[in-house]
Amino acid sequence: MAKSQVTFNKIEKEKKRLKKREEKQKKKEARKAEAKASGQKGIQFAYVDHNGNLTDTPPDPTMKVKVEAENIELGIPKKEDREEEAPVDKQGKVSFFDHSKGFGFIIDSINQEKYFVHVSGLLEPIEENDTVTYELERGQRGMNAVRVKKI
């Protein structure tokens, strides 16, 4: 009666594991022999200089900057600390607007960019080829025109 296939697979896995361990040991011995031949001791280090670049020389202690823990700000500054940007009204022309679906597109008069506009962002009804003013807001798929009104 022959041995079962499961036993054969177990034996093969064990052989692979032992072979891998043996190769790892050979690589380790080769690294030790190379280190002795080149005269290097220990692990080589990589340092980061004051510009954030990796180097093999230690950084200059005179370039070290002392930072107080109290000066480190974690998180987002409070709303009153941040400078608020005043919304800038842009001008453009309505290239397409579908009243039944409630959306359209505006082409900026300066940079010819096309912006999405939804009926919820309108201050007054618009038609195609109307010249309008609007503000930009970040949407899910890019910049959207909001607070749109005719000129």
**What are the residue boundaries of the structural domains of the chain, listed by start?**
1-35, 90-150
Own/partner pairs for 68-71, CB < 8 Å, 24+ apart? none
Residue 83: the pLDDT is 52
Residue 50: the pLDDT is 73
Q: How far is CA 134 from the centre of its chain?
A: 30
In sequence order, the 6+-apart residues with CB closer than 8 A to the CB of 44 are 56
CATH architecture of 90-150: Beta Barrel (2.40)
> Which tens digits make up the pLDDT trace of 85-106?
556 789 999 999 999 999 999 9
Residue 85: the pLDDT is 56
In sequence order, the 6+-apart residues with CB closer than 8 A to the CB of 126 are 94, 97, 104, 117, 132, 148, 150
Residue 18 has pLDDT above 60, yes or no: yes
pTM for the complete prediction?
0.44
| Mean pLDDT, the chain, integer | 86
Residue 32 has pLDDT above 70, yes or no: yes
